[in-house]
Structure 1
Amino acid sequence: MIVVTGATGRLGSQVVERLLSRIPADQVGVSVRDVARAAALAGRGVRVRQGDFTEPQSLKHAFEGATSALIISAGIRGHEAAVSANRAAADAACAAGVERILYTSHQACSPSSLFAPMSVHAATEEHLAGLGTPFVSLRNGFYASTLGFYLPEALATGRFTVPDDGPVSWTAHADLAEAAAVALTRPEAFDGVTPPLVADRTWTFEQVAAELSAMLGREITRVVATDEQWRDAAVERGMPPQAADFTLGFFRAARRGEFDVVDPALPTVLDRPTTPLRTTLEAVGGLD
């Protein structure tokens, strides 16, 4: 059996769908915090069990009988809390006898990254490497859907007003979900830390603005704000200060080139080109 954590989330739900197109439903299990949200999966024959990274005992039951497990990184703010949650999931998988663990890491994984989640991934990868259980760390590209946070302002005002940035390998959830499903069902596809699983090109916000302009038939201008200007404006609009600081870490890391990576690994495992950024912009911007 293959067990997927976070199976009602944006990535996990798509991984499960791709698994169900490859293997029978009774070979798929999910670990979710709220089993009611996975009722439709249970109705299709998927094994649904409650599991919470902050409650390790629940995870032992969720992973029971699994030969492989996909641990989707905990969406928890704070380095220690997030690392502790990911470690708890990995330890529970091992305790349940899981023979192969897959983890959703990031292409910019590094303890010295300027973007906070990257150090969480680095610490989790280090823990996985010390467990003695075969593992795959999926070095996923930056989720292209993140651009959806910035589109409303751009569409309403005609301006992308964000801090100075750098090229980012914006990558579609659908592509990463398919790659995870391949990795779960074809063990020979990946072993250990994967190459960067990223789209076939990178984009700056200026280039995204130009793409949007071409899509809409009207100009979207990229405006550079200082970090302080952007933070003050974001907080004034209602963003919590901690969230604003978190987001600034992304821009600082992008400026340093942490997300400026292109690699053939993802299109190779997909056996097709990666999803164009325009497709994601249409979806998250309500333009399709």
Structure 2
Amino acid sequence: MIIVTGANGRLGRTVTERLLERVPAEEIGVSVRDTEKARDLGDRGIRVRRGDFTDPSGLADAFEGAAQVLIVSTDATGETALRAHRAAIAAAAAAGAGRILYTSHMGAHPTSPFAPMPDHAATEAALRASGVPFTALRNGFYASSAAMLLGAALDTGELIAPEDGPVAWTDHADLADAAVLALTASGDGLDGLYGTTPALTGPEAIDLAGVAALATRLTGRPVRRVVVSDAAYRAHLLDHGLPGPQADLLVGLFAASRRGDFAPADPTLAHLLGRPATPLADVLTATTLKTPVTRTG
């Protein structure tokens, strides 16, 4: 049985939905904190069990009979995240899983100034130490984050943020497809998708000046990139009610991008998908700009 954690979240739910296109429902299980939110999956024949990374005994039940477990990384950071990930890895190993897959990140590094990245690096180390075959899917930076950073700029005409660097923005749906392929396919290099993968990214790395230019082209409304200091940006976030740790996290994102942690774009994702990876323009058009996109290829 393939077990997917976090199936009530955006990535986990998309992976589960697309697994259903390849695998009989009775061969899929989901581990979720709120089973009521996953009732529709149960109605379609998927095994739904409560699993919380803070409750190892519950994970034993959620992971029962697992051949493979996809651990979708938690949205926590620091020691909280590491305890959760290590508990999930231990539970998957105890359940006898033949492989553990984990949604890591292309920027995973112990010294990264962006808080989630040292956590991903430490989780990859825990996977290596587990003794279970594993795949750490080093996902590219979510393109939805570019939409979030664009934010009010579509109204104000100014994209205000600290100095940044290019980011290989990557579509959630593409990453879900890659995870499904890793869980189900063989051949064309997929059977060798073990250990830490290359960066799974969109087709190009674009900095925020490029995002502003892209928004201008797509909307016909000028969007100007405005660079401010890290301190000024953090103060602005605090003034608008963002808690200090979240403000620090966002400032760290820009510091990490400046050192090139989220670039360059890599061809691996497109190779796995057998088609071009989705460009940022398509994601922005279909989400932030609320306009349907018809893709070819």
Q: TM-score, normalised by structure 2?
A: 0.95
CA-to-aligned-CA distance 1:236-279 (integer Å, 9 cap, x gap): 11111111111100000001111112211100000000011112
SS in 1 for 2:104: strand
1:246 is matched with 249
By how many angstroms is 1:284 displaced? 3.2
2:295 is matched with none
SS in 2 for 1:31: strand
Identity of aligned residues (%): 50
Work out the CA distance in 2 between the residues paired with 1:51 and 1:171: 28
CA-to-aligned-CA distance 1:139-179 (integer Å, 9 cap, x gap): 10001101232233111201100110000011000000000
By how many angstroms is 1:286 displaced? 4.1
Work out the CA distance in 2 between the residues paired with 1:148 and 1:54: 32
Establish whether residue 145 from structure 1 lines up as the match of residue 130 from structure 2: no
1:119 is matched with 118
By how many angstroms is 1:17 displaced? 1.0
2:182 is matched with 183
SS in 2 for 1:110: coil
Establish whether residue 231 from structure 1 lines up as the match of residue 234 from structure 2: yes
2:216 is matched with 213
CA RMSD of aligned residues (A): 1.0
2:49 is matched with 49
Establish whether residue 256 from structure 1 lines up as the match of residue 259 from structure 2: yes
The gaps in structure 2 that reach 5 residues or longer are 292-297
Work out the CA distance in 1 between the residues paired with 2:144 and 2:46: 27
SS in 1 for 2:137: strand
By how many angstroms is 1:280 displaced? 1.3
By how many angstroms is 1:88 displaced? 0.2
CA-to-aligned-CA distance 1:214-233 (integer Å, 9 cap, x gap): 01011110100111111111
Instruction: Give the AA of the match of 1:114.
Output: P
Q: TM-score, normalised by structure 1?
A: 0.97
Work out the CA distance in 2 between the residues paired with 1:196 and 1:46: 31
Work out the CA distance in 1 between the residues paired with 2:56 and 2:74: 13
2:81 is matched with 82
1:129 is matched with 128
CA-to-aligned-CA distance 1:159-201 (integer Å, 9 cap, x gap): 1001100000110000000000000002515111111101111
2:294 is matched with none
Establish whether residue 222 from structure 1 lines up as the match of residue 221 from structure 2: no
The gaps in structure 1 that reach 5 residues or longer are none
CA-to-aligned-CA distance 1:13-47 (integer Å, 9 cap, x gap): 11011100111111110000000000110011000
Runs of 4+ displaced beyond 6 Å: none
